[in-house]
Amino acid sequence: MKTELVTKAYEIAKERYAAIGVDTEKVLKQMQDFHLSLHCWQADDVKGFEVQAGALSGGIQSTGDFPGAARNIDELRQDILKAKSLIPGNHRLNLHEIYGDFKGKVVDRDEVTVEHFQSWIDWAKDNNTMLDFNSSSFSHPKSGSLTLANPDEGIRQFWVEHTKRCRDIANAMGEAQGDPCIMNLWVHDGCKDVSVNHALYRNTLKKSLDEVFAKEQPMMKDCIEGKVFGIGLESFTVGSHDFYTAYAAQNDKILTIDTGHYHPTESAADKVSAVLPFLKELMLHVSRPVRWDSDHVTIMDDPTQELFFEIVRAGALDRVHYGLDFFDGSINRIGAYVIGSRSAQKCMLRALLEPRETISQLELAGEGYKVLAIIEEQKAMPWQAVYDEFCVRNNVPVGQEFIADIDQYVADVISKR
């Protein structure tokens, strides 16, 4: 699209938003400071680079076998940089522990050290990218149905040691980049069928978390993430939303809200204002559940839009961290990155463009029909022109122009794998 057309459309949009009290230049500045944490596992379907890697397990799965998945660390880095080049703004990278640079050596999960991520730290510095991190409890001979909640002391200690080492790595990443590394802890622990030991498992998980978090790590932030159920673990989840909400509030940890980790009739957006009075910060994992935690690519659907509206309406922009968490192997993986990231950005943009003070005052004055009228009219406002301007200012393709760019990348790079 010609830049002059984008600029013309933006100037009209700027005037229209100014008429309802919204400063689009202020919003564009806020968008520039809105950093997503891109998830490395979209590029290779959650395989990672362990020499001893087995099949994906632990209550998660990636579906599809579209050609071109990254096969090694160099290809994954190349794909991530390509995706970043098509997304306006500068964004972080979220690594799982299984994506270490193991250099062809067998390194078990309780043996991993900063050494195995030094090349990632160097790469991130060279590419102006901040790193976030995750422990990896799945797809391992000792993961089974229970890891940190396992009554078997040997297995429990294995995962406690793994998670402690991950915190060491995250802290080193934070020190190197001069900005705290956000480390997420999620374990799949649960039961396939009827269980009578719920209290035992939850007390064991609490004990493990207390041990893991005992060491102060000043340059990383701990997140804990609950879930409704996992594949093969449908009847009971040890680390439920209630469990982790209570633990986070009591122990000053960040709660991770994953949009796919709730019952289909629950609203992840509603949880934002419900927990923020008790927590300093939140972490988001944004995906798209289709009937279950299926991790479809994020789009501008109603649940995602409501999530970002809720954050902005709560005045919580500086208290929420934004990560993506989908892994669709059925479509072009670079395309998945770009679609999901730009969709999340558009949801945030629309939330920032809302005349919040006006709507809030009308609601408090009991003018319900005016509230509904303005919210509905906002859907037809020219927010897309503002997003196009955001793309132009960041020198990335406008609209669907990124499709041709990805096709060229497929021809030049992916097709040769």
Q: Residue 87 is part of a domain; what is its CATH number?
A: 3.20.20.150
Q: Domain containing 240: what range?
A: 32-352
Residue 400 lies in a domain: yes
Residue 59 has pLDDT above 80, yes or no: no
12 shares its domain with 90: no
Contact between 162 and 222 under an 8 Å Cβ cutoff? The reply is no
Residue 262 has pLDDT above 70, yes or no: yes
205 shares its domain with 221: yes
Residue 27 lies in a domain: no
User: How does pLDDT run across 198-232, given as a tens digit for each residue?
Assistant: 999 999 999 999 999 999 999 999 999 999 988 88
Domain boundary among 352, 372, 400: 352
Local confidence band at 55 (pLDDT 50, 70, 90 cut-offs): confident
Tokens 């900063």 belong to residue:
114
347 shares its domain with 371: no
Which pLDDT does position 51 carry in this prediction? 84
Residue 176 has pLDDT above 80, yes or no: yes
Domain boundary among 310, 337, 352: 352
Gap between the Cα atoms of 78 and 90, Å rounded: 16
Using a pLDDT cut of 90, give the percent of the chain over it: 91
16 shares its domain with 131: no
| Residues labelled as active-site residues | 186, 225, 227, 258, 261, 285, 293, 295, 325
Which pLDDT does position 229 carry in this prediction? 86
- Average pLDDT of span 4-12: 96
Local confidence band at 58 (pLDDT 50, 70, 90 cut-offs): low
Residue 159 has pLDDT above 90, yes or no: yes
Local confidence band at 304 (pLDDT 50, 70, 90 cut-offs): very high
Mean pLDDT (the chain, rounded): 95
- Average pLDDT of span 328-342: 96
369 shares its domain with 348: no
Residue 217 lies in a domain: yes
Which residues are CB-neighbours of 158 under 8 A, at least 6 positions away? 109, 110, 142
Q: Which amino acid is at 14?
A: K
Gap between the Cα atoms of 294 and 378, Å rounded: 31
Local confidence band at 65 (pLDDT 50, 70, 90 cut-offs): confident
- Average pLDDT of span 11-35: 98
Which pLDDT does position 62 carry in this prediction? 76
Tokens 């005016």 belong to residue:
370
- Average pLDDT of span 354-376: 97
Gap between the Cα atoms of 326 and 335, Å rounded: 12
Q: In angstroms, what CA-CA distances link 64 with 68, 296, 299?
A: 12, 11, 19
Which pLDDT does position 113 carry in this prediction? 98
DSSP 13: H
Judged on CB neighbours under 10 Å (0-12, 13-18, 19+), 299 is: middle
292 shares its domain with 365: no
69 shares its domain with 80: yes
Domain boundary among 352, 373, 403: 352
Beta-carbon count within 10 A of 368 CB: 10
187 shares its domain with 296: yes
Please give the model's pTM, rounded to 2 decimal places.
0.95
1 shares its domain with 74: no
327 shares its domain with 369: no
Q: Of the candidates 313, 311, 333, 330, which has an alpha carbon nearest to the alpha carbon of residue 322?
A: 311
Copy the structure tokens of residue 350.
């629309």
Strands 92-96 and 236-237: unpaired
- Average pLDDT of span 338-361: 98
Q: In angstroms, what CA-CA distances link 197 with 156, 202, 238, 254?
A: 16, 9, 10, 27
Residue 130 lies in a domain: yes
Q: How many structural domains compose the chain?
A: 2
160 shares its domain with 51: yes
Residue 157 has pLDDT above 70, yes or no: yes
359 shares its domain with 348: no
